[in-house]
Chain A
Amino acid sequence: MNTTEAYYQLVRQAVDRNIRSGALPAGTRLYVSALADRLGVSRSPVKRALDILENDGLIRRDGGMGWVVGDAPADEARPNLHLFDLDLPDSGSAVLIKPGWERILQTVADELTDCIPFGIWKISETELCNHFGVSRTVTREVLTRLHERGLIAKNRASHWIAGPLSAQMLDELHDLRRLMEPLALRRGAKQLERPHLLAMHDRVQVALDAGGQPAPDDLDAIEVDLHETCVAPQPNQRLAAALPALRLSIVINRQFTRHVARHQEGALLTEHRLVLDHLIAGDADGAAAALRFHLDADHARARERLKVLSIFGGPDGDTAPYLTRVV
């Protein structure tokens, strides 16, 4: 989902699409509160979206009785919109869109972590609002949650500050991650499908056969395979919520492959393959042990690589406009 779009635009697009597809047939009465309830959003973006849709000529106002789809006569009954099979962006969920902060939280966290190996960054709340087209309320919520994750803090001048990513921070996160991620893998191992695992194994093998220097995007995919997809099926919600923040060190491998000409990932790939071998064989305990071995080895590498990154001024590529390097 495009995180930079405002709420009312998402509502407008969703209603527009469902009218054009016939999922919301001509003559259907649309009330602000009923539509807001169906889409799981608040009333004000719905009101704004309906005004625009009226301007577009897709709906018409019906006095004090809300809006009516198309030109056909209005249905008599007030419809139960929950009975309509609508095509909504986040189809797995009952609601149209996640709360504003949830939509942008991970994006902001990722953009921040890409920067913090290189020093200290100041976050502009105003720029954050402008960049994502969200309100102050939303950005405050995001910043509060990033603060809870330990990613940002307020300095003496009361500015939000991120970084630098320190070896100490890596150590502390690793202590927790080496306990929790193997646990998650062991719990979810049975649900992983064999063809899926074989495909992951194949990606690792291809990278190894090609000399162990995968392109940045290929390495990203390999990391996601093991550290996100393979641990996802486990049922513990609190564990699931804790894991993303512990994976901070992945940013180091990611930035390292982008900065350093001849990075060699042979060891990382061999360790990944070992975990996948255990999973394919149906050995959940072995996979968990192999994952812990990999996390320990990768931690040692991350510490060394952080030192290399410390000689560079900033992340590869553009930094987000709401971040300014302090030192």
Chain B
Amino acid sequence: MVRQLRDRVQNDLGFEIEFVLLDSTQGLQQVVTRPESFDIYHQWHTSDLIWTARCIQGIDLNRLDAGTRIKAAALARTGAGRNMHTIFDRLFVQDDGRLGVTPTDTIAVMPALHGVDGFAWRPERAPALRRGERESWGWLLDPRWAGHVGLIADPVLGMIEAAMATEVQLGEPFGDIGNLTIEEVDTIADFLIHKKKIGHFKGFWNSQAEAIRLMQRGSVTIQSLFSPAVSRLRAQGMALTVASPTEGCRGWHSDIGISAAAEGAALDAAYDYLNWWSNGWAGACLSRQGYYFIFPELARAHLAPEEWDYWYDGQPAARALPGLSGEITIPEGHRREGGSYRERMSSARVWNTFMDEHTHIARRWGEFLSA
């Protein structure tokens, strides 16, 4: 949790909150097996999984300031903007206890942030590109970049990116890239292992710090990158292009759940925390590192007009803009790749998720990393 947010929320709510970072499989195991060990859980792509385990409790929309807004957003999404709010596909608790799309008064998690990730590359270190060539996930496995490619080591996100790249390189589309079959996973893994053995990859990263180091050393010139890392590298003066791949982006959402064990005063405090989040201040704060708040109009109130124009409206920065901790990350005149909030979110082709064949994916991915 970012320090600015931590200080502010404790100050605003008037009670102390202990923040614990649980970003490993062990962390997820703890959440699933010991709901009494937390009150609130900020989850990334596990909402269906933790709901199946019932380690979080249903959230009463009537107790949320954003309750009406959430229901309205669920009903409103139609047509081309469909991809904008995938979280709404599995948000509402249905009569049979499972999650579904039909709005009810109970939700599994409160949506908070979302965004799309692509890869980033260094134009001045790029190989010769064809005239008019568009950015493609295929580049990650393209022989022209051999020896300079970095990959995320996490199997959940890594497999999605590898799938999009493999699809381009092998010229065969996969059925559902967000839910690969065993056969498709094997095709991808075999291809990745071959690529690794011929020295295609320069490195793998487990954290944003590692990703930043890979690029700083200069050896990695193309890799997937989260927006905070992009901001950090740019603040250090690196010329970096965030791709808007022709195949679409990898979407993500981050939501807040309440522990199944929370009751009484702890439960009241949990609802206070959720309502504090939904006022948009925190969302605005994290927008400065490239995330989107689920209800942009609420974040807007807490952003300078120039910030709103740059981060959400796709306009060139009217002045140099600060990142989270106040240092300048966006030079004047820079325009965010991929356009406005709506344009960028509509480019989400696939969402971070634990696929049905996760065990198989994790095994083949491990085989790839140790090949």
Q: How does the 8 Å CB contact mask read for B115-158 relative to A, with 1 for contact and 0 for none?
A: 00000000000000000000000000000000000000000000
Pick out which of these stretches binds chain B: A94-102, A106-114, A221-229, A306-314. Answer: A306-314
B354 touches A307 (CB 8 A): yes
Interface size class, chain A = 20 to 34
Q: Determine if B357 is an interface residue (Cβ-Cβ < 8 Å).
A: yes
Pick out which of these stretches binds chain A: B25-33, B231-239, B262-270. Answer: B25-33
Interface size class, chain B = 20 to 34
Within 8 A of B (CB), among A45-75: none
Known contacts A260-B32, A307-B354; is-contact A117 B54 (Cβ 8 Å): no
Known contacts A259-B32, A261-B34, A261-B35; is-contact A165 B359 (Cβ 8 Å): yes
Residue of A whose beta carbon sits closest to that of B356? A167
A262 touches B363 (CB 8 A): no
B97 touches A264 (CB 8 A): yes
Chain A residues, Cβ within 8 Å of B32: 259-261, 308, 311
Chain B residues, Cβ within 8 Å of A167: 356-357
Residue of A whose beta carbon sits closest to that of B33? A261
Chain A residues, Cβ within 8 Å of B55: 260-262
A262 touches B35 (CB 8 A): yes
Complex CA distance for A209 and B363, rounded to whole angstroms: 41
Residue of B whose beta carbon sits closest to that of A170? B356
Complex CA distance for A262 and B32, rounded to whole angstroms: 9
A259 touches which one: B33, B48, B260 (CB < 8 A)? B33
Query: Which of B28, B34, B48, B358 has the most CB atoms of chain A within a 10 A radius of its CB?
Result: B358
Q: Determine if A27 is an interface residue (Cβ-Cβ < 8 Å).
A: no
A164 touches B354 (CB 8 A): no
A311 touches B363 (CB 8 A): no
Q: How does the 8 Å CB contact mask read for A256-272 relative to B, with 1 for contact and 0 for none?
A: 00011111101100000
Q: How does the 8 Å CB contact mask read for B213-241 relative to A, with 1 for contact and 0 for none?
A: 00000000000000000000000000000
A307 touches B29 (CB 8 A): no
Q: How does the 8 Å CB contact mask read for A221-262 relative to B, with 1 for contact and 0 for none?
A: 000000000000000000000000000000000000001111
Chain A residues, Cβ within 8 Å of B28: 311
A308 touches B53 (CB 8 A): yes
A262 touches which one: B25, B54, B96 (CB < 8 A)? B54
A307 touches B260 (CB 8 A): no
Q: Determine if B17 is an interface residue (Cβ-Cβ < 8 Å).
A: no
* 6 closest residue pairs by CB, A with B: A167-B356, A164-B359, A304-B52, A310-B358, A327-B363, A310-B359
